[in-house]
Structure 1
């Protein structure tokens, strides 16, 4: 593909490829702090929706005097939503 280019453009293409390769090598392995931070983000992405759903379920059960009729299914829904959110976040990383 680069045989059809004039020499100055070939040099430019080679320079871009070389820079991209240097950037790839410079990134290397992620640091411990970055991995630890990602684990924390994943934890919060699962816990926060679960806690919100739990609070809403408890509030509904208290207002309607219904035991755990709303708490249990909303907690399951919150955990499911949190896991789905974490799964999507991992896919983007």
Structure 2
């Protein structure tokens, strides 16, 4: 296959992918600004709740079983990490059909 034919085939494939994306977007309709705000809120809560739960549990453990390190700080970082994974899961779930 010559370079020109290969480039033509790649161009045709690119146009086909763009056409499929456009048709899928038209089928699903336009997402409103409320969808974006809702997703923004969902991501915020998905991070905030595990973070605050980690802080609360860590503060309780620091009072109940004081040690050489801070449970509050450790569980704060754990809650943020868990919250970020949670937010990533929600965003990837909602954008699954946006290929």
* TM-score when normalising by structure 2: 0.64
Runs of 4+ with deviation above 3 angstroms:
21-24, 65-68
**Could you give the per-residue CA deviations for residues 50-91 of structure 1, whole angstroms, max 9, x where no partner exists?**
000100000000112348610101100000000001111111
Shift in alpha-carbon separation, 1:68–1:51, aligned structure 2, 3 A: farther
Report the aligned-residue RMSD: 2.3
CA distance in structure 2 between the partners assigned to 1:41 and 1:60 by the alignment: 29
Higher RCO by CA contacts (8 Å cutoff, separation 6 or greater): 2
* TM-score when normalising by structure 1: 0.68
**Corresponding residue for 1:65?**
66
Unaligned runs of 5+ in 2: 1-21, 95-99
CA distance in structure 2 between the partners assigned to 1:38 and 1:67 by the alignment: 40
Shift in alpha-carbon separation, 1:83–1:69, aligned structure 2, 3 A: same
**Could you give the per-residue CA deviations for residues 2-46 of structure 1, whole angstroms, max 9, x where no partner exists?**
xxxxxxxxxxxxxxxxxxx98852533210111101100000000
Q: Secondary structure in 2 aligned to 1:29?
A: coil
**Corresponding residue for 1:83?**
84
Question: Of the two, which has the highest radius of gyration?
Answer: 1
